[in-house]
Each structure stands twice: as structure tokens, then as C-alpha cells.
């Protein structure tokens, strides 16, 4: 009995547990700051203005996902490996190469938006005001440091600093908007201006932590090729995932009513905290798996990391049980219909949580990101087909059923690969 108690204590107080908790706390507060900003905007802007802002913010997120092309994951892998081998110069080279690739990709996509602002505004932003397209480009470029440097900090095991960097965007964004609102008209342009100005502090803070010495290092052609080769299929997965991850609300809006979309959106926002926790765990595990060069050590750590998913799953089950009072206390009776949707969404997250260690091991230990990239094609096809079918049958619960199926398939697929690799 004492042996098992000691194992539990080891899991609870290990470095992996500590770093996961740090990232989860940081990501949770970041989500909270984002929610507060959105809540303030809904009070200050007209419905049409808020709709355009939401479309612009959504396009910025899509650009961010599209221009990542798997580079940040590749950066964690190579920088962590070099640091594990005490090769600081090599780590700096890969860090610079990653930053350059990310900056160029953002400049290219943002440049395209600037070249066709009318088309982007009318077709993607629900407005004829081309200045919104320009703001999308400016903000996307301004976010380069905020999007890239947190992963560098994780590779250097500066987890608290990566959390603070995340907050350095969310908190100033709120304060800048509230401050400017006292002297300027509260409209769409003010909201976008506040977003743009809030990208300045992360640049200064990010480079103050990481330093600028890595920018002076000359990255080799091999470094660029290594990153691109490693991130190739991850990039495909990132792009497709960014699309498939947003199909639920889009397809729900086209197949049902605004009321159902509203009920689903509340449930989706709440269940996203499970994704935040799983992502936090995955970020921590990626730096650990990337440093191993021994198959047996990788296998032991895989077992250990899988045990970390158990308390997360137990927490999800508890949340399913208390979902009704939780929703009613927060949002009132008018969102009663979202309770059932939330319960289904939370249940669909359980296989997703269990797949986190396996997917991370495939990418960073087995080093076969192509397996995840190939699955992304299957994933987007399943999401599209099943969303149409189940939404027509079960309305707002339909996308949750789709997530349950796709997440279960991902869990089974990833663990089969892991068992075959480490079972030999």
C-alpha cells in the first residue's frame, strides 16, 4: 500500500505535474482574460460591430494557425534536443531558423490580405470597410513574437515566463481598450486599435526573456531543411485542424437556428477548458519526449505520462455530473438547453485526453509526424460528413457526437501506432 501511495505522491509532485499545472493555470487565466475582453466588447459595441470584430479575430486565428505550418512544434523538438546535448549554439540556430520561417510566412499571408482588402472584407469579414482587412494584417504581424517565443521558452523550460508572455497580451488589451474608451468613441476601430497596440508589450517582454543573441547567430541551410522536413506533415495537420476545429459552429449555423448556435457556443466555450488542460500537458510532454534517445526510457515515460491523464478524465466525469447546476448558476435558465450539449461535449473529450501522450510520443519520440498529418485528412472528412448527418438528426448535440467519434478514432489510431513501436 505504501508503495502505491509513494507512486501517487511522485506523480503529483513531479516536474511534469508541476509544469503541466503551471501551463494550465496560465492558459486558463489567458482564456479568462479573453472572455473578459469579449464580454466588454459585447457591452460597448453594436451587434453588427461586434460581429465584424469577431470575424476579424477569427481570421487572425486562422492566419496564425495557417502560418505555423508545424514550425513551433519542430522548434521545441530540435531546440530541446540540442539543449539536452548541451549544444547551446545549435539550439540558437534552430530558434533563429524557426523565427525567420514563421515571420516570413506571416508576412506573405498578411501581404496577400493587404493586396486584396476589398475581397477579404466583403467575403470574410462581413463588411465593406477595407480598413478592417488592414487591421487584420497589422495585428497578425504584431503577434509574431507572441505566437513563437512561448514555445522557445518551453523548450528552455521557462514555463512561468511563457505564461507571463501569454498574459502580456490579454491584460493590456483590456486595459488599453478601457483607457482609450474614456477619450475616444467606443466603436469597431477602437476595438481593433486596442488589439493592435496590445501586441507591443509581448514583443519587448518575449525578447527580454529569450534575448536577442540568437538573432545574431547564422542558421545553416540544414537547420531550415530539418525544421521544414520535420514540420511538413505537422503543418498539414495544423492547417486542416484549424479548419475542422471551426466547422462545428459554421455548419451548425447553416443547418439550424441562431438560438441553437447560441446554446452550443456556451457549451463549446466551457468544454474548451479541457482542451486547454490537454494542450498544457502535451506542451510539457513534448519537451520531455524530445530529449530521450533511449527506447526503454521513452516507454517508461510514456506509461508515466499516461497516468497523468487519469485525474484529468476523473475531473471531466465530475464536471459531467454537475453540468446542470454549473450552467444554470453561471448563465441562468435561458441556457438550460446547453446543459445536455455540454455533457456530450465533455464526454467526447475523454478519448481526446487519453490520446495526448500517444500523439506526443509519435511526434517527438518516434518522430513520425506524417502519421498525424495523414490522419488529419481523415479527420476533416469525418467532421464534415458526420456533422451534416448528426446535426440533421440531433440538432445542437450533433457536433458533439461527431467529436466523440473523431476523438475516439484518433485515440485508437495513435495508441495502435505506439503499441506496435514500443511493443517490439
Task: Give 348 or 396, the one with higher predicted confidence.
Answer: 348
Q: Phi then psi for 276, rounded to 5 degrees?
A: -60, -45
Answer yes or no: are the C-beta atoms of 99 and 112 closer than 8 Å. Answer: no
Does residue 208 surpass a pLDDT of 50? yes
* Runs of H (alpha helix) within 116-187: 117-124, 131-142, 144-155, 159-180
> What is the Cα–Cα distance from 283 to 302, expressed in whole angstroms?
14
Q: Show the cell assigned to 65.
A: 494557425
Residue 69 region by backbone torsions, left for phi larger than 0, else alpha for psi between -120 and 50, else beta: left
Question: Which one of 125-129, 215-219, 248-252, 281-285 scores highest in mean pLDDT?
Answer: 215-219
Confidence of residue 362 (pLDDT cuts 50, 70, 90): confident
> What pLDDT, on a 0 to 100 scale, did the predictor assign at position 20?
64
Side-chain-facing half-sphere of 196: CA atoms under 13 Å: 19
Answer yes or no: are the C-beta atoms of 96 and 219 closer than 8 Å. Answer: yes
The answer to which of 49-53, 61-65, 111-115, 312-316 has the lowest mean pLDDT is: 49-53
Average pLDDT of the segment spanning 92-106: 92
Does residue 128 surpass a pLDDT of 70? yes
Confidence of residue 68 (pLDDT cuts 50, 70, 90): confident
pTM recorded for the entire structure: 0.66
> What pLDDT, on a 0 to 100 scale, did the predictor assign at position 8?
47
Average pLDDT of the segment spanning 5-30: 62
The answer to which of 59-68, 210-219, 392-401 has the lowest mean pLDDT is: 59-68
Measured distance between the N- and C-terminal CA atoms of the chain, rounded to whole angstroms: 32
Q: How many residues in the chain?
A: 424
Average pLDDT of the segment spanning 380-400: 90
The residue written with cell numbers 520561417 in the block is 101
> What pLDDT, on a 0 to 100 scale, did the predictor assign at position 11?
46
Percentage of the chain lying above the pLDDT 90 cut: 30
List Cβ neighbours of 264 (8 Å cut-off, separation of 6 or more): 248, 249, 252, 338, 341, 396, 399
The residue written with cell numbers 548541451 in the block is 86
Closest to 344 measured CA to CA, from 263, 289, 226:
263
Average pLDDT of the segment spanning 2-10: 50
> What pLDDT, on a 0 to 100 scale, did the predictor assign at position 302?
83
Question: Which one of 147-156, 211-220, 263-272, 291-300 scores highest in mean pLDDT?
Answer: 211-220
Does residue 307 surpass a pLDDT of 60? yes
List Cβ neighbours of 202 (8 Å cut-off, separation of 6 or more): 143, 145, 146, 149, 165, 168, 169
Q: Measured between alpha carbons, how far is residue 197 from residues 54, 138, 143, 212, 332 in Å?
A: 18, 10, 10, 22, 35
Answer yes or no: are the C-beta atoms of 241 and 392 closer than 8 Å. Answer: no
List Cβ neighbours of 412 (8 Å cut-off, separation of 6 or more): none
Cβ-in-10-Å burial (0-12, 13-18, 19+) of 103 comes to: middle
Could you read off the pLDDT of 262-304 as tens digits, one per residue?
677 778 777 878 887 887 777 778 777 777 777 777 788 888 8
Amino acid at each position: 500500500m505504501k508503495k502505491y501511495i509513494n507512486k501517487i505522491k511522485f506523480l503529483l509532485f513531479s516536474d511534469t505535474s508541476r509544469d503541466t499545472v503551471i501551463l494550465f493555470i496560465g492558459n486558463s487565466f489567458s482564456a479568462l482574460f479573453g472572455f473578459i475582453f469579449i464580454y466588454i466588447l459585447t457591452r460597448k459595441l453594436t451587434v453588427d460591430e461586434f460581429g465584424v470584430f469577431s470575424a476579424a479575430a477569427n481570421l487572425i486565428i486562422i492566419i496564425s494557425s495557417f502560418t505555423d505550418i508545424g514550425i513551433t512544434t519542430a522548434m521545441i523538438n530540435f531546440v530541446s534536443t540540442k539543449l539536452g546535448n548541451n549544444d547551446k549554439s545549435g539550439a540558437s540556430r534552430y530558434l533563429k531558423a524557426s523565427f525567420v520561417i514563421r515571420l516570413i510566412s506571416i508576412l506573405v499571408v498578411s501581404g496577400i490580405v493587404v493586396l486584396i482588402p476589398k475581397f477579404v472584407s466583403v467575403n470574410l469579414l462581413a463588411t465593406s470597410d477595407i480598413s478592417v482587412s488592414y487591421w487584420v494584417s497589422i495585428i497578425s504581424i504584431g503577434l509574431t513574437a507572441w505566437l513563437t517565443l512561448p514555445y522557445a521558452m518551453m523548450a528552455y523550460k521557462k514555463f512561468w515566463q511563457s505564461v507571463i508572455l501569454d498574459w502580456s497580451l490579454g491584460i493590456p488589451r483590456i486595459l488599453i481598450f478601457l483607457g482609450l474608451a474614456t477619450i475616444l468613441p467606443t466603436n469597431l476601430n477602437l476595438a481593433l486599435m486596442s488589439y493592435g497596440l496590445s501586441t507591443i508589450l509581448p514583443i519587448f517582454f518575449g525578447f527580454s526573456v529569450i534575448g536577442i543573441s540568437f538573432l545574431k547567430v547564422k542558421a545553416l541551410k540544414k537547420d531550415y531543411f530539418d525544421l521544414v522536413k520535420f514540420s511538413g506533415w505537422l503543418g498539414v495537420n495544423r492547417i486542416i485542424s484549424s479548419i475542422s476545429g471551426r466547422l462545428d459552429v459554421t455548419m451548425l449555423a447553416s443547418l439550424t437556428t441562431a438560438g441553437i448556435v447560441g446554446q452550443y457556443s456556451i457549451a463549446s466555450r466551457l468544454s474548451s477548458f479541457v482542451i486547454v488542460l490537454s494542450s498544457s500537458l502535451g506542451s510539457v510532454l513534448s519537451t520531455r519526449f524530445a530529449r530521450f534517445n533511449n527506447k526503454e526510457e521513452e516507454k517508461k515515460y510514456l506509461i508515466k505520462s499516461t497516468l497523468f491523464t487519469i485525474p484529468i478524465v476523473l475531473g471531466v466525469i465530475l464536471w459531467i455530473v454537475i453540468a446542470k447546476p454549473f450552467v444554470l448558476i453561471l448563465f441562468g435558465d435561458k441556457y438550460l438547453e446547453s446543459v445536455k450539449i455540454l455533457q456530450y461535449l465533455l464526454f467526447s473529450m475523454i478519448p481526446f485526453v487519453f490520446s495526448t501522450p500517444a500523439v506526443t510520443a509519435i511526434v517527438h519520440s518516434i518522430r513520425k509526424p506524417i502519421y498525424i498529418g495523414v490522419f488529419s485528412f481523415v479527420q476533416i472528412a469525418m467532421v464534415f460528413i458526420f456533422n451534416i448527418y448528426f446535426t440533421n438528426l440531433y440538432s445542437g448535440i450533433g457536433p458533439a457526437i461527431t467529436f466523440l467519434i473523431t476523438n475516439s478514432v484518433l485515440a485508437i489510431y495513435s495508441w495502435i501506432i505506439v503499441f506496435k513501436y514500443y511493443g517490439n
